[in-house]
Amino acid sequence: MEQKTITKYNILEKYFGYKSFRKGQETLIDAILSGQDVLGIMPTGAGKSICYQVPALMLPGITVVISPLISLMKDQVSALNQAGIHAAYINSSLTENQIAKAMQYAAEGRYKIIYVAPERLETQEFVNFAEHANISMVTVDEAHCISQWGQDFRPSYLKIVQFIKILPKRPIISAFTATATEVVKEDIQCVLGLCNPEVLATGFNRENLYFAVEMPKKKDAYILDYVTEHSSESGIIYCSTRKNVDAVCDKLSKEGVAVTKYHAGLSNGERQQNQEDFIYDRCPVMVATNAFGMGIDKSNVRYVIHYNMPQSMENYYQEAGRAGRDGEPSECILLYSAQDVMINRFLLENKEQNTEFTPEERKAIRERDEERLSMMTRYCTTKNCLREYILRYFGEQGEKECGNCSNCQKEFEELDVTKEARKIIECVLELRQRYGINVIAGTLRGDNRAKLREYHVADYSSFGALKELTEPAIKEIMEQMMAEQLLFRTNDKYALVKVTRLGREWMEGESRILLKKAKEDNFAKASLNSSQTSAKTKQRKSDILNSRGLELFDLLRELRTTIAREENIPPYLVFSDKTLVDMCVKLPFTKEEILSVSGVGENKSKKYGERFTNQILTFTNGEKEKLYFGEVEEVLNSTEHSRTGKENGKTKNAKQDFSLTAQQAIEFPYEEKYLVTEIAEQLNRLRDPNTTKKITGAEIFRFIMSEELASQTFYGRMPKKEVSEKGVLAGLFLGPRISKTGTEYQDIYYNEQAQSMIVEHYTRDKNS
Ligand code: ADP
Ligand code: ZN
């Protein structure tokens, strides 16, 4: 029989259901297939797994994947099995019997991919197996754990090197990580002994994440509002202490939120149970300490809120990065308060130090920790683009303004605080640079605190020099002066504020100092600039669906939940949200057609295809409706692009886009006022359903916006509609409406004049 060569594209499509590789994936796969070692540095969600799973299926022998995270292993293996790939994991969560069985199967060559925990590598049974097996590749996941300079150093990772040495033939080594600074990168290559590797870093930027720092007066109220507003979505709330976790979780649960929690104070059983409730979407909201999340592969986490500031940018980016692994727009919000800095200082001071290190090393580590904390604090107080800050921290160059973070979306004004800054420096010098920020601010305010009395600060001439300012305001100016290097804080636990040389020179000179302050009324501003800001706010994939599309999407989601329950797997292992959206766009009716949907491979098509196509057939009555906005090309480009150029969603009985004949138009039942959806409804009654497609309210509203009669802004993600001056003249006006949940909001109404303008727009052969 003729042997067809199987390409990496075949594998990608057959098993994973994707049509093309993403940035970087192909380079790494090609290198591996040509026998080269690789190091892939790609952010979470970029698709590292495919980089070793695809070659693993093409190499002659077995691929051993070393991963520190037990839960992740289980997940990855389930996902592979779902895709029809033979894989197994071996770690301490299995019984001795199960391990023996897995080892036996492995020795018989039944698995192409085996996941193991690093500790497992030196056990006798694994060594026996490895000495006789044909291991083509060793993949090191979370490779930064091998570096002592990383923040997740795991001594057990050093065992990998010995393990590779005992193998009869040196395998290809592929290493992957999401976080690696220059030193860590060097370390990985050096310690693992990578041989002339292909090193590829795709960049840290996660375009689909929106970053925000907020300083709410009441964090609890903020969280409750946010969670209620996003009630259909899954999210994680991180707190720095167990006590906070308990409190926030209680509060949300009292308000009826399906919430669960995770911290080291819970029993193993409870932790396991709660984690599963979260992963299986039984409790879509998780409140947790940073003990939670390592190895959580839940792809549809829509938001990560930090109730407290973490200790470093590394921690923050890793935790926040658990949002939006599926590439859909998601939000990362940090709730900052000055107290967080103090809590973190305290935690650092009481951190247990690894006894393997010498005193000098420990001192160096402590200093690095301090530095990390201060960089984290600066992230919370910067007025510049947050994304740019993050990227710069990780050694990359970002754009000056990303347009998709809270600072880029805020309007700032600049206050001249030169006079105040001078008084601050005078005060610091007068107090002989022996105090921290609290004493200085208190002195300038002229406070009568016990501590201040003890220091006799009332005797100084600076006492009360800025009594008209609040304490936070003084501190804010001081932070700005530190950012501009006029002041600095000593790097010890006293954190004394001192004046730099630059600061002294500045006192002699004429230059001014400006403080960027958020304008109070951001909301109004954001709406005024609607065209600008809304263009920048990222749409999520499901936003491309019109209301009928969303209806179908919800039905498919329900079906997915049902299947997940039956099979006892997390819903996202059936299909991702993105795949469901693509189904709503392409409307596959057969098992063959469903293969053209992104994320549907052969195995899943066989297993689930029919149930989904049946649902779609019932919903659409076998008619290929258009359930999305925009042009097909546009939509397909925005989901992952089709390489094979298969016919997608080809319409059986091609209908014309919506329009009316002049005769039909005359029959429009004009009223004093209509909402846009009502106009759509009336228009649809007039059309000939056999030849003409439906029109939706959203489509009409897009026409209205293109005429600049109205605009729509999203504040967070709450839409706010506004009528322009031109719109008022055309007969549009705002009026109250009541939502399904009973809240009142403003929507746009159209008077008769406006109605006739719309009817005319959709009327063909107007002159005849
Ligand atoms: P990482 O390990 O880098 O965090 P994953 O390997 O978990 O990322 O991949 C993230 C998501 O992207 C998964 O849902 C995966 O199926 C999807 N994905 C990966 N590669 C592709 C591709 N070429 N086309 C479409 N989706 C992809
Ligand atoms: Zn920005």
CB of 9 shorter than 6 A to ligand 1: no
- Closest CA to ligand 1's atom 5: 47
pLDDT tens for each residue of 275-322: 989 988 889 999 999 889 876 778 889 999 999 999 899 889 989 999
When pLDDT is averaged across residues 426-443 and rounded to a whole number, the result is: 94
Q: How many angstroms does the Cα of residue 168 sit away from the middle of ligand 2?
A: 52
Q: How many angstroms does the Cα of residue 38 sit away from the middle of ligand 2?
A: 32
754, 570, 762: which is closest to 670 by C-alpha? 754
Cα angle, residue 261 at apex, residues 257 and 262 outer, rounded to 5°: 165
pLDDT tens for each residue of 325-337: 888 889 999 999 8
pLDDT tens for each residue of 578-609: 899 899 999 999 988 999 999 999 999 999 99
Question: Which position has the higher pLDDT, 491 or 571?
Answer: 571
- Closest CA to ligand 1's atom 6: 47
Q: Which residues contact 347 (CB under 8 A, 6 or more apart)?
A: 240, 311
Q: Which ligand is nearest to the CA of 321?
A: 1
When pLDDT is averaged across residues 239-263 and rounded to a whole number, the result is: 95
pLDDT tens for each residue of 45-100: 788 999 999 999 999 999 999 998 777 788 889 999 999 999 999 988 889 999 99
Alpha carbon distance 331, 178 (integer Å): 19
Q: Name 268's bridge partners.
A: none
CB of 29 shorter than 6 A to ligand 1: no
**Closest atom of ligand 1 to CA, residue 16:** 16
**Closest atom of ligand 1 to CA, residue 43:** 3
When pLDDT is averaged across residues 101-108 and rounded to a whole number, the result is: 90
* pLDDT bucket at 270, cuts 50 / 70 / 90: very high
Alpha carbon distance 253, 492 (integer Å): 41
> Which pair of tokens denotes residue 506?
């500045």
pLDDT of 10 strictly over 70: yes
- Closest CA to ligand 1's atom 20: 47
When pLDDT is averaged across residues 124-128 and rounded to a whole number, the result is: 91
| Cα dihedral 228/229/235/236 (nearest 10) | -60
Q: Which ligand is nearest to the CA of 391?
A: 2
For residue 51, what are the CA distances in angstroms to 12, 290, 761? 10, 28, 51
Q: Which ligand is nearest to the CA of 404?
A: 2
CB of 51 shorter than 6 A to ligand 1: no
Q: How many angstroms does the Cα of residue 680 sit away from the middle of ligand 1?
A: 39
Alpha carbon distance 295, 65 (integer Å): 14
* pLDDT bucket at 642, cuts 50 / 70 / 90: very low
Burial class (CB in 10 A: 0-12, 13-18, 19+), 44: buried
Q: Which ligand is nearest to the CA of 399?
A: 2
- Closest CA to ligand 1's atom 25: 18
Q: What is the pLDDT of residue 740?
A: 44
CB of 42 shorter than 6 A to ligand 1: yes
- Closest CA to ligand 1's atom 23: 21
When pLDDT is averaged across residues 658-687 and rounded to a whole number, the result is: 88
Q: Which ligand is nearest to the CA of 576?
A: 1
CB of 582 shorter than 6 A to ligand 1: no
Q: How many angstroms does the Cα of residue 103 sit away from the middle of ligand 2?
A: 50
CB of 208 shorter than 6 A to ligand 1: no
CB of 219 shorter than 6 A to ligand 1: no
CB of 44 shorter than 6 A to ligand 1: yes
Alpha carbon distance 705, 562 (integer Å): 40
Q: Which ligand is nearest to the CA of 212?
A: 2
pLDDT tens for each residue of 345-363: 777 777 776 666 788 878 8
When pLDDT is averaged across residues 727-745 and rounded to a whole number, the result is: 73
Q: What is the pLDDT of residue 337?
A: 86
- Closest CA to ligand 1's atom 16: 47
Question: Which position has the higher pLDDT, 461 or 716?
Answer: 461
Contact status, residue 37 vs residue 173, Cβ threshold 8 Å: yes
Please choose from 48, 50, 53, 296 the residue to mutate so as to test ligand 1's pocket, defined by most ligand atoms within 8 A of CB: 50
CB of 576 shorter than 6 A to ligand 1: yes
Alpha carbon distance 236, 78 (integer Å): 23
pLDDT of 427 strictly over 80: yes
Q: What is the pLDDT of residue 50?
A: 96
**Closest atom of ligand 1 to CA, residue 598:** 25
Q: What is the pLDDT of residue 745?
A: 66
When pLDDT is averaged across residues 251-256 and rounded to a whole number, the result is: 94
Residue-averaged pLDDT of the chain: 85
CB of 50 shorter than 6 A to ligand 1: yes
512 three-state secondary structure = coil
Alpha carbon distance 88, 102 (integer Å): 7
Q: What is the DSSP secondary-structure string of 157-213?
A: GGHHHHHHHHSSSPPEEEEEES---HHHHHHHHHHHT--S-EEEE--S--TTEEEEE
CB of 299 shorter than 6 A to ligand 1: yes
Share of the chain above pLDDT 90, in %: 47
pLDDT of 611 strictly over 60: yes
For residue 51, the surrounding DSSP H or E stretch is helix 48-58
Residue 622 backbone zone (phi > 0: left; psi -120 to 50: alpha; other: beta):
left
- Closest CA to ligand 1's atom 19: 47
* pLDDT bucket at 540, cuts 50 / 70 / 90: low
* DSSP letter assigned to residue 445: H
Burial class (CB in 10 A: 0-12, 13-18, 19+), 712: middle
Alpha carbon distance 585, 200 (integer Å): 34
Within 707-751, residue ranges assigned H as helices are: 725-730
pLDDT of 435 strictly over 50: yes
For residue 306, the surrounding DSSP H or E stretch is strand 301-306
* pLDDT bucket at 750, cuts 50 / 70 / 90: very high
| Cα dihedral 518/519/523/525 (nearest 10) | -120
Q: Which ligand is nearest to the CA of 386?
A: 2
CB of 18 shorter than 6 A to ligand 1: yes
Instruction: Read off φ and ψ for residue 735, nearest 5 degrees.
Output: -150, 160
When pLDDT is averaged across residues 554-568 and rounded to a whole number, the result is: 91
* pLDDT bucket at 524, cuts 50 / 70 / 90: very low
Question: Which position has the higher pLDDT, 48 or 699?
Answer: 48
* DSSP letter assigned to residue 146: G
Task: Report the Cα 656 to chain-centroid distance in Å.
Answer: 39
Instruction: Read off φ and ψ for residue 139, nearest 5 degrees.
Output: -110, 130
Q: Which of 324-328, 375-379, 503-507 has the lowest mean pLDDT?
A: 324-328
CB of 46 shorter than 6 A to ligand 1: yes
Q: How many angstroms does the Cα of residue 18 sit away from the middle of ligand 1?
A: 10
Q: How many angstroms does the Cα of residue 399 sit away from the middle of ligand 2?
A: 8
pLDDT tens for each residue of 158-184: 999 999 999 999 999 999 998 777 888
| Strand-by-strand arrangement of the 234-238 sheet | 209-214, 330-335, 301-306, 234-238, 285-288, 259-262
Question: Which position has the higher pLDDT, 768 or 294?
Answer: 294
**Closest atom of ligand 1 to CA, residue 22:** 23
pLDDT of 615 strictly over 80: yes
When pLDDT is averaged across residues 21-38 and rounded to a whole number, the result is: 94
pLDDT of 743 strictly over 60: no
* pLDDT bucket at 722, cuts 50 / 70 / 90: confident
**Closest atom of ligand 1 to CA, residue 19:** 24
> Angle, nearest 10°, between helix axes 471-483 and 437-445?
130
Alpha carbon distance 69, 91 (integer Å): 10
Contact status, residue 633 vs residue 547, Cβ threshold 8 Å: no
Alpha carbon distance 382, 211 (integer Å): 13
